[in-house]
Amino acid sequence: MKESTESLNFIEHIIEEDLANGFPQEKLRFRFPPEPNGYLHIGHAASICLNFGLGEKYEAPVNLRFDDTNPSKEEQEYVDAIKRDIAWLGFKWANECYASDYFQQLYDWALQMIKDDKAYVDHQTSEQIAAQKGTPTSPGTASPFRNRPIAESLDLFNRMKNGEFPAGSYVLRAKVDMASPNMHMRDPIMYRIINAHHHRTGDKWCIYPMYDWAHGESDYVEQVSHSLCTLEFRAHRELYDWYLDQIYDPSLLRPKQREFARRNLSYTVMSKRKLLELVQKNIVSGWDDPRMPTISGLRRRGYTPTSIRKFSDLAGIAKRDNVTDVSLLEFCIREDLNQTATRVMAVLNPVKLVITNYPEGQTEILHLENNPEEANSGSHEVPFSRELYIEQEDFKEDGGKNFFRLSLGNEVRLKSAYIIKGESVVKDAAGNILEIHVTYDPDSRSGSGTEASERKVKGTLHWVSIAHAITAEVREYDRLFLDEAPDAHEEKSFMEFINPNSLNVIKKAYLEPFLANATMDSKYQFQRLGYFTLDPDSKNGHLVFNKTVGLKDTWAKQNVQTPTQAQPKPQAPAQPQGQKKALNEIQQIGKKLTNLSGDKLESAINSIKVFAEEVSYEELEALFDTPAKKVGTRIAVMLALGVLLNKGQAKTQAALDFILAGKADENELLRVEAEKLN
RNA sequence: UGACCGAUGGUGUAACGGCAGCACAAGAGAUUUUGGUUCUCUUUGUCUAGGUUCGAAUCCUAGUCGGUCAACCA
């Protein structure tokens, strides 16, 4: 049990309220109900962590129930993968259940419903049924078979079950309300005929229940107290309850459905259909490609169960649409791996370094701390010699004052080894650097305790001894999509946003020999580079490492704008939408203004100016007394005022006062914009 | 032009009528044999307009915006 001081999500509030109203805690029961037609992804993890987390919190059983009511889409392979992923996340289900376990019970209940005149067999095409359904704004019309005699429906239903009819010819429909404003209540289909082999029931059945008919009743059979699903099922709730009404025994627990928002992640897609498309079009190598947001992909990438559970915990559960920033996920894995990963050295883009005053042929064994975050993690041996590889990035002939790495005439520390000084470079005819020549301070060996070893130098580099290094293939990954929400564009397919450079393979990286014994489940930090883990593609003698995530890199951030990241996005559509009032847009953009810089700021300012074209002076004047605290809004109003003045609007006293106040404001941008209006 | 659901910093999420908080992200500094970690500090928010109230993010009304709903999918 967690402490009560912790904040609760709305589901937990509901449970607490039920408990407070006398619902016995021992009757609490949850379930995670995947359809075995695809792999689990990070969005499912939210639901898994919610349901199983509730189980842990309230010491209640959680069933794993496969919603296997459609044999034409579902496969055993997916059942196995789903079980593996949930177990890997560290959750234990109370029972492994299948909706198909309840086919007989469901059939018996359906029979009862026909006898109660609550269901009938329809004999029309799906097009006819769809046409009669009406639209959300107009009621439906009854099927000509709606009042078929009970005995006839009973007979037909029996013959449907016996396989006397072809697929699609007959359906069993609930008799609810064709005029209901809720489309799901307009005589929903309960059973359809499907002639496909079911992964568990084989060929025993040729009629299969629909989701709505199977799901609530399965919850009821399992006595699930709180049936949690995603928001798009909100409209199904009425039907969920209606079906329960038909078969409910008041001495038993009655399940209740609640809906929460599905979890979206930035720079990826989360629907099984789209993920499948990536697999089928060979954009990725499979469901477990390390760039995929699937649980299996994340596992292969090097994510840990701890990190994914932490992510679900931090991201939380609520009812509004969301796109969680992928940086939160990255934070979670860094936090975990920082505590646990073994520190090693590897050079991905090598350049040769020669220590000219180090004896030729000499080798020293030095010691590298396994994990500075863990006191008792010990150390491992790393060989040192006269000729080393360092990263190309770590050397510049003339680095400048902010470059803490190796340059000519400057000193740096070789991690866990000696302090060296850049002396000269050897280049080829084209000017490419072939070798960097340095001298070392023999008294400066790490851990030797000498005065020289304690000297402070600006930078520390990782390195490997050329003679001792082993080689490996290293795969670096970037986000799969260039857009923050690739599937949120109505006019464009998510496929148009695929990042062509999401995979970078380094065929030959040099690693310290310690890594020859790397195992599949160990996690490593290649020092100064990031976290890495072995890929299952590794074979004897050919190591393949996946980069899980880089270290935070404040150096890179100051320097380069990495092309795939931080795509400046306009803060508002270029053309005013017309729907929302231009003034509202200006206020909205203004609020965020002080938080922006560079391209984003410029784009926001331009948007404000565009919207300002449609604003009247009277509207704008009302915003002159915006509180000084809301400086962003004031800047936006100032910008808009500028546009109006340009169009010939006279400077009223109110405008003059507003400009004057702006010129005296603490905020620089506001002052600048106010000055411009003089 | 319907019904239902939703709207709190850049992002995610708390605050059940009583000090708008936490995390990520961003920025500044300190420490550092990883430009990592750690530590300190900072910026940024209740969709709009009314109403109820001593007091509203919270309750009410209206509006705006977003989402969902018309598979023999789940």
DSSP assignments along A563-603, one per residue: TTS-----SS-SS--SSS-HHHHHHHHHHHHTT--HHHHHH
Please tell me the distance from the alpha carbon of residue A123 to that of residue A497, in angstroms, as a whole number. Answer: 45
The predicted-structure confidence for A45-81, as pLDDT tens digits, reads as follows: 999 999 999 999 999 999 999 999 999 998 999 999 9
Between A641 and A25, whose confidence is greater? A25
Task: Determine whether the distance from the CB of A338 to the nearest atom of strand B is below 7 Å.
Answer: yes
* DSSP string for A218-281: HHHHTT-SEEEEEGGGGGGHHHHHHHHHHH--TTS---EEEEEPPP-BTTS---HHHHHHHHHT
Which protein residue has its CA closest to C1' of B3? Answer: A181
Q: Which residues pair with A173 in a beta bridge?
A: A120, A189
Helix (H, G, I), strand (E, B) or coil at A147: coil
What's the pLDDT score for residue A631?
Answer: 67
A375 pLDDT band (50/70/90 cuts)?
A: confident
What's the pLDDT score for residue A561?
Answer: 40
Please tell me the distance from the alpha carbon of residue A420 to that of residue A412, in angstroms, as a whole number. Answer: 6
Name the residue with tokens 């919603």. Answer: A67
A627 pLDDT band (50/70/90 cuts)?
A: low
Please tell me the distance from the alpha carbon of residue A216 to that of residue A221, in angstroms, as a whole number. Answer: 9
What's the pLDDT score for residue A622?
Answer: 61
CA angle in degrees (0–180, nearest 5) for A584-A588-A594: 145
Please tell me whether A230 is known to bind a ligand.
Answer: yes
Average pLDDT, stretch A216-220? 98
The values of phi and psi at residue A629, to 5°, are -60, -35
Average pLDDT, stretch A579-600? 59
* Average pLDDT of every residue of chain A: 91
Average pLDDT, stretch A522-551? 97
Asked whether the predicted pLDDT for residue A4 surpasses 70, the reply is: no
Q: In terms of pTM, does the model score above 0.90? A: no
Which residue in A472, A464, A470 sits closest to A385, CA to CA? A464
Strand B proximity: list residues 68-87 of A with CB under 7 Å: 69-70, 73
Asked whether the predicted pLDDT for residue A422 surpasses 50, the reply is: yes
CA-to-C1' distance for A572 and B62, Å?
27
Which nt sits closest to A17, CA to C1'?
B16
Task: Determine whether the distance from the CB of A178 to the nearest atom of strand B is below 7 Å.
Answer: no
Name the residue with tokens 């009757």. Answer: A27
CA-to-C1' distance for A460 and B2, Å?
67
Please tell me the distance from the alpha carbon of residue A409 to that of residue A13, in angstroms, as a whole number. Answer: 65
Which nt sits closest to A320, CA to C1'?
B6
Please tell me the distance from the alpha carbon of residue A516 to that of residue A509, in angstroms, as a whole number. Answer: 13
What's the pLDDT score for residue A662?
Answer: 74
A401 pLDDT band (50/70/90 cuts)?
A: confident
Asked whether the predicted pLDDT for residue A120 surpasses 90, the reply is: yes
Tokens of A593: 């203004």
Asked whether the predicted pLDDT for residue A247 surpasses 90, the reply is: yes
Please tell me the distance from the alpha carbon of residue A162 to that of residue A166, in angstroms, as a whole number. Answer: 11
Order of strands, edge to edge, in the sheet holding A30-32? A30-32, A62-66, A96-98
Which residue in A124, A159, A156 sits closest to A142, CA to CA? A124
The predicted-structure confidence for A593-613, as pLDDT tens digits, reads as follows: 665 555 556 767 777 777 777
- b/e for A548-558, b at 16 or more Cβ within 10 A? bbebeeeeeee
What's the pLDDT score for residue A573?
Answer: 30
Which nt sits closest to A72, CA to C1'?
B73
Please tell me whether A270 is known to bind a ligand.
Answer: yes
Least confident range of A82-91, A367-376, A561-570 = A561-570
Which protein residue has its CA closest to C1' of B7? Answer: A320
Average pLDDT, stretch A330-349? 98
Residue type, A455: R
CA-to-C1' distance for A310 and B45, Å?
25
Asked whether the predicted pLDDT for residue A655 surpasses 90, the reply is: no
- The helix (H) or strand (E) run that includes residue A336 is helix A326-340
What's the pLDDT score for residue A56?
Answer: 97
The values of phi and psi at residue A471, to 5°, are -115, 160
Between A133 and A643, whose confidence is greater? A133
The predicted-structure confidence for A275-295, as pLDDT tens digits, reads as follows: 999 999 999 999 999 999 999
Within 7 Å of a protein beta carbon, the nucleotides of strand B are: 1-16, 21, 23-27, 33-38, 43-48, 64-74
The predicted-structure confidence for A440-481, as pLDDT tens digits, reads as follows: 999 999 999 999 999 999 999 999 999 999 999 999 999 999
Residue A257: which residues within 8 A CB-CB, separation 6 or more? A216, A219, A227, A228, A229, A233, A236, A237, A240, A241
Helix (H, G, I), strand (E, B) or coil at A465: strand
Percent with pLDDT over 70 in chain A: 89
What's the pLDDT score for residue A563?
Answer: 35
Please tell me the distance from the alpha carbon of residue A434 to that of residue A62, in angstroms, as a whole number. Answer: 62
Asked whether the predicted pLDDT for residue A565 surpasses 50, the reply is: no
Task: Determine whether the distance from the CB of A5 to the nearest atom of strand B is below 7 Å.
Answer: no
C-alpha distances (whole Å) from A439 to each of A300, A352, A358, A410 are 42, 14, 8, 11
What's the pLDDT score for residue A644?
Answer: 83
The sign of the dihedral angle between the CA atoms of A37, A41, A47, A51 is positive
Question: What's the N-to-C CA distance of chain A in angstroms?
Answer: 64
Helix (H, G, I), strand (E, B) or coil at A33: coil
**Catalytic residue list of A:** 35, 262, 272
Average pLDDT, stretch A629-646? 76
Which protein residue has its CA closest to C1' of B11? Answer: A325
Between A408 and A489, whose confidence is greater? A408
Asked whether the predicted pLDDT for residue A566 surpasses 50, the reply is: no
Average pLDDT, stretch A228-244? 97
What's the pLDDT score for residue A582?
Answer: 64
Residue A676: which residues within 8 A CB-CB, separation 6 or more? A642
Residue A237: which residues within 8 A CB-CB, separation 6 or more? A257, A259
What's the pLDDT score for residue A572?
Answer: 31
